[in-house]
Structure 1
Amino acid sequence: MTEPLVLAGPAPPRRPRIPRLLRQTAFRRYWSAQTVSLFGDQVTMLAVPLLALLAVGAGPAEMGYLTAASLLPNLFLSLPAGAWVDRHPRRRRVMIAADLGRAGLLLAVPLLWWTGTLNLMLLCAVAFLIGCLSVFFEVAHSSLFAALVRRPDYVDANSLVNGSRAMSHVAGPSIGGLLVQVLTAPVALLSGVLTYLVSAVFLARTRVTEHTVTTGTALGMAAGVRFVARSEILRATLLGTTTLNLFNYMFAALFVLYVTTELGVSPGILGLVIGAGAVGGLLGAAVTGPVSRRIGIGPAVLVGFVAFPAPLVLVPLAMGPEPVVLALLFTAEFVSALGVMVLDIAVGSVQIAATPVAMLAVVSGFRRTVNHGIRPIGALVGGTLGAAIGVRPALWIASIGALLGLLWVVFSPLRGMRTLPEE
């Protein structure tokens, strides 16, 4: 007997595939903490300089001082903080304490503004103290990452974290610019306070077994310096990123001032342009894994060293009608955001893989001492140069000079490296 013909209906919609790492509770909470904190950072990074510009009346040199104050702790605190964190049995608690401290300090800014006592010196002091806590948070981050993620998953895990960073670059400046324009800059900072608190809650709920180092702090600091100096891979990536950051922070110290005053772009429009351009970061986070597997992790690092700084030359090129200016700014932000994601994911994965687990925090601290320590110097040079020769010529020097970082890595083993290095 013939069975009746049954016509198949439409296939049920497929549920979105959740990345394997996000199905792990501990990593998901860690990633969530990073995500909300990154969103707060983006709002704060736009709101604080705009507050200095609009409420305190900062000029080019003062903008350089403010940027330098937030970055200066990287210069003297990163290495001892890294050595101390390596010996601390609970890096996660260090990160929680840093989140809570940053929330309290950031809350002080609108309170000072509402009482009429806010000035540039106090704003620089708050930025400096927040920078100190950020150092402890970041040097502890590498050790916690390695405790949560298996070595073969480093690139994928870094892609997820940097994907969050890219998304924060898309939404954070847009929200921050609108909050500044509608509610004023001090009120916009309250959203940053909230994100630090939420980050602390997620970290408090993350359960992980952490590795403890028993060597003395002084020995740990010396060992971290020696290890980076002797490693061709770590030495090349450190010198390359340091060179890039010197010029990039010359650029960053002047960017908001140039775009808002000389190009006449309002804070709200600036936030929207930066946010829309940062969609390139989402693309960069999505393609870095496949690209690094196809061309090799080393060549992917080289691509990042070019794709990040090169588009920024469009900013000092921007002139003419407003649509043309906005189009050039958007293109610069979009391609640069793509490039920085490729660079951060590839370099971050290489550096963690090339470092013994027991030395991750102190090596990270030494890298930050050199790499991040150059940033306030770049900001001060940028502000001084902008005041001396004009903001636009200074931006030309900064955007072209950042490409020199490529020279350190193109003549290193990274050029032909296909897979992550051995520890």
Structure 2
Amino acid sequence: MRFHSQHGWACCRSKFCLSSVSCAACKTSSGALIGPGLAGGLIHVLTAPFAIVLDAAAFLLSALLLRRVVSRNDVPHANEGHGVWREIGEGLKLVWQNRTLWGLAWLAGTWQFLHHMQVAVLILFATRDLGLSAGAIGLAFACGGAGCFLASATAQRLSERLGIGNVIVHGLILTAFGWQAFGLIGGPVWAATLALGGAMLVFDFGAVLYGINYLALRQAITPDRLLGRMTATMRFFTVASAPLGSLVGGALATAIGLRGTLLTVGVLGLVLSGAAVMWSPVRRHRTLPAPAAE
């Protein structure tokens, strides 16, 4: 599904990796800036089912455009024919034995778990507790798109000044503050809309800042031949935790309410950030290493 994570990142190495990922994120954030507001308007005018049909048509158009991409693979495959299970084992071994990759894996997996706890309840909180319309929610999410754009435009400069590991940790902290802010929103509809938009801006700025540097670092320290196996392994760790987070978020909301769940996610996000500072080797990386050898 995420074509660029396998194909696009294969075209960049350490010297240009951070700028390449930033440029890709900048293009993606343009859609995040426009899409939510457009979706809110379409839902208001055409109702949700028609908006979903248009969304599906946009995915079909994207797939047709991707068919036009020409791919060239210059990486030799010395062990072709050894089977998928051996390749899975190589990916697991690489991530387990590399302290930085393992640190990135547990950070990303835990973050995805918490993020999907929040995703499971945020829209319900906005509609039921705050009384926001689809248009107001779309406007708030468009503010998040602005945060994505700002992060992608400043990620390389911040990484050069603060160090790539520090930016990853600070990005995690900003997402935790965003989660915490979601649970504190209240008041009249206009104020709640502005507050949700501000919280989305902070959250998405931190998430994209963290994501750009996370992708660039894991790309730089992995040998070319193992990039696909590393990506598959890391994606398994992160994606596998997402449905578990949604289940826990829904169950927790049933027990303590939507607002209490969002506040809990914010606190746990700050705990994750503290763990990254204290125990993860990721924070020690100030610059991207040279391209990894076999």
1-side partners of 2:52 and 2:136: how far apart? 19
* 2:29 is the counterpart of 1:166: yes
1:111-147 per-position Cα deviation (integer Å, ceiling 9, x unaligned): xxxxxxxxxxxxxxxxxxxxxxx3xxx3x64341244
Contact 1:253/1:383 (8 A) holds in 2 = yes
Give the whole-Å Cα distance in 1 for the aligned partners of 2:269 and 2:29. 21
For residue 243 of structure 1, the aligned residue among 94, 104, 110 is 110
The one-letter code matched in structure 2 to 1:255 is L
TM-aligned CA deviation for residue 150 of structure 1: 4.1
CA distance in 1, matches of 2:146, 2:95: 34
Residue correspondence of structure 1 range 41-120 to structure 2 within 5 A: none
Q: Is contact 1:240-1:407 (8 Å) kept?
A: no
Number of matched pairs = 286
Checking the alignment, whether the CA contact within 8 Å between 1:243 and 1:404 is kept in structure 2 is no
Q: Please say if 1:417 is aligned against 2:285.
A: yes
Counterpart in 2 of 1:72?
none
Selected match of 1:229 from 96, 117, 127: 96
The one-letter amino acid of 1:412's match is S
Aligned amino acid, residue 102 of structure 2? R
Partner of 1:390: 257
1:189 aligned onto 2:56? no
Indicate the RMSD between aligned Cα atoms, in angstroms. 1.7
- What's the CA shift for 1:200? 2.4
2:64 maps to what in 1?
Answer: 201
* Residue pair 1:309, 1:402 contacting (<8 A) in 2 also: yes
Match of 1:337 among 204, 209, 215: 204
Looking at both structures, which has the greater relative contact order when contacts are Cα pairs under 8 Å and sequence separation is at least 6? Answer: 2
Contact 1:236/1:408 (CA < 8 Å) preserved in 2? no
Q: Distance in 1 between matches of 2:5 and 2:188?
A: 46
SS, match of residue 7 in structure 2: helix
Q: Distance in 2 between matches of 1:382 and 1:349?
A: 30
TM-score between the two structures when normalised by the length of structure 1: 0.64
1: CA distance, partners of 2:17 / 2:45: 41
Distance 1:407 1:242, change over 3 A: farther
Which of 274-283 and 192-201 deviates more? 192-201
Residue 319 of structure 1 aligns to a residue in which SS?
Answer: coil
Mapped to 2, the partners of 1:304 and 1:420 lie a distance apart of 17
Contact 1:315–1:332 at 8 Å: present in 2 too? yes
Q: Give the equivalent residue in structure 2 for 1:326.
A: 193
Equivalent position to 1:314, from 178, 181, 187: 181
- Radius of gyration: which is bigger? 1
Superposition deviation, residue 168 in structure 1: 1.9
Letter in 2 for 1:329: L
Alignment of 1:224-303 (within 5 A): 224-303=91-170
Shift of 1:241: 1.7
Q: Secondary structure in 2 aligned to 1:373? A: helix
| Aligned partner (choices 404, 408, 413) of residue 271 of structure 2 | 404
Q: Say whether the 8 Å CA contact 1:246–1:402 is kept in structure 2.
A: no
Cα distance between partner residues in 2 of 1:412 and 1:385: 28
CA distance in structure 1 between the partners assigned to 2:166 and 2:286 by the alignment: 8
Cα offset, 1:181, TM superposition: 1.5
Q: Structure 1, residues 312-350: CA drift from partner, whole Å, max 9, x if none?
A: 212111112223222221110011111111111000100
SS of alignment partner, residue 421 of structure 1: coil
Q: Check whether the contact 1:242–1:405 (CA below 8 A) recurs between aligned residues.
A: no
User: For residues 72 and 225 of structure 2, what CA distance do their matches in structure 1 show?
Assistant: 14
* Superposition deviation, residue 212 in structure 1: 6.0
* Partner AA of 1:196 in structure 2: F
- 1:176-209 CA distance string (max 9 Å, x none): 1111111111211233223223322332222231
- State the Cα distance separating 1:375 from its structure 2 match: 0.8
The answer to whether structure 1 residue 359 and structure 2 residue 229 are counterparts is no
Shift of 1:408: 4.3
Task: Give the residue type in structure 2 aligned to 1:142.
Answer: S
Is 1:308–1:343's contact at 8 Å kept on the other side of the alignment? no
Identity of aligned residues (%): 28
Mapped to 2, the partners of 1:408 and 1:201 lie a distance apart of 43
Q: Is the 8 A contact 2:143 2:198 kept in 1?
A: no
Match of 2:16 among 153, 161, 169: 153
Cα displacement string for residues 346-392 of structure 1 (whole angstroms, at most 9, x for unaligned residues): 00100111112222222212112211111100101111111122111
